[in-house]
Chains A and B, each alone.
Chain A
Amino acid sequence: DGGITQSPKYLFRKEGQNVTLSCEQNLNHDAMYWYRQDPGQGLRLIYYSQIVNDFQKGDIAEGYSVSREKKESFPLTVTSAQKNPTAFYLCASSIVGRLNTEAFFGQGTRLTVV
């Protein structure tokens, strides 16, 4: 079955620690995205990547880093510089360039800083 897999589903982190969220897709999509969801807010774009070894900052990239070494994988690192990291993180992928294309989402990772 094709889809996007995020792991882990729940993650706890101590303050001051970096943590990496995994996102893998087997849809053969070129574009991958990371969003963050906070209560009462929409999905805000953190980073996106259209092609391997290339990525761009979204609206709220500060305190986050990404890599795109493989087409299938787009891990997100939440660094200690992120001031309010507790949130629900969603990874998505889509076909590049087509107008009528939707993004497919993973199940999400809930990160809690303790």
Chain B
Amino acid sequence: DQQVKQNSPSLSVQEGRISILNCDYTNSMFDYFLWYKKYPAEGPTFLISISSIKDKNEDGRFTVFLNKSAKHLSLHIVPSQPGDSAVYFCAASAWGGSARQLTFGSGTQLTVLP
């Protein structure tokens, strides 16, 4: 049973427009959420995060929104650039036994068209 779900496997957006990537979670113990970006044959790199006590965090072109009641978060990229084309993973963090664990979604392939 997936605790973190990214229901859109792919998304195409025109350059300059907004990209919105969505993520849903089921475990109410998650208290920290992260977005990672991944290029083919490379490891994911951290992009932006948000604590469960906040509903918005902004870093340049990237904004993450958290709706705790809906157990939903989204990543907004404005304006989208061709270099943003990558797989984006949503991750959620909670204490699992003796260590904090990250649970990842299945990823969304973003393609920004020039």
Known A-B contacts A42-B106, A99-B51; A50 and B98 likewise in contact (beta carbons under 8 Å): yes
B34 touching A102, Cβ below 8 Å: yes
CB closest residue in chain A, given B53: A99
B89 touching A45, Cβ below 8 Å: no
Query: Interface size bucket, A side?
Result: 20 to 34
A84 an interface residue at 8 Å Cβ cutoff?
no
Q: Which chain B residues (78-107) contact chain A, with CB distance < 8 Å?
A: 89, 91, 93, 97-107
Q: Which 3 A-B pairs have the closest CB atoms?
A: A105-B43, A42-B104, A43-B104
**Taking chain A's interface residues, is the majority helix, strand, or loop, or is none over half, making it mixed?**
strand
Contacts of B45 in A (CB 8 A): 105
**Taking chain B's interface residues, is the majority helix, strand, or loop, or is none over half, making it mixed?**
strand
B44 touching A43, Cβ below 8 Å: yes
Question: Which of A33, A97, A104, A105 is most buried by chain B, counting CB atoms within 10 A of its CB?
Answer: A105
Could you tell me which A residues sit within 8 Å of B by CB distance? 4, 6, 9, 31, 33, 35, 40-45, 48, 50, 56, 58, 88, 90, 92, 94, 96-97, 99-108, 110
B16 an interface residue at 8 Å Cβ cutoff?
no
CB closest residue in chain B, given A105: B43
